Amino acid sequence: MTHVFSELSQGNDESLLDIMAEEMTWNWMGSGQWSKSFVGKAQVLGELWKNVRDTIKKPYKVEVHNIIADGDYVVVEMSGQNETVTENSYKNKYCWVCLLRDGKLYQINEYMDTELVTNAFKS
């Protein structure tokens, strides 16, 4: 995971996408409009990651502040260093709780500032 996030900090998302298991689930945690689950690698790539690529200026970058690992879990605290394609600042703060098995990523529970998402992606 340190390699994956080192690559993300440089704007390269391929390492993250490569380690995803076909059974991958990505959960946006919370109870508002931005809370949802993407089930299966196809949905993660076809919906979630397609939207990232369509709405955030390339390269998509994060700055990692902490990585904590315990057994099959890796927790990553980070902040985005991005801008939307409509020129809005998008510097969200994240905490990802990642489940890994046998070198594959099976789940991400993503915690973020959803109010910042709403404001950054206003029409």
Per-residue pLDDT of the chain (123 residues; tens, 9 = 90+): 899 999 988 888 999 999 999 999 999 998 888 899 999 999 999 999 998 889 999 888 899 999 999 999 999 999 998 999 999 889 999 999 999 999 999 999 999 998 889 888 875
Quote the pTM value. Answer: 0.91
What's the full length of the chain, in residues? 123
- Ordered by where they begin, the domains of the chain are 2-120 (3.10.450.50)
Handedness of CA 30, 32, 34, 36 (dihedral sign): positive
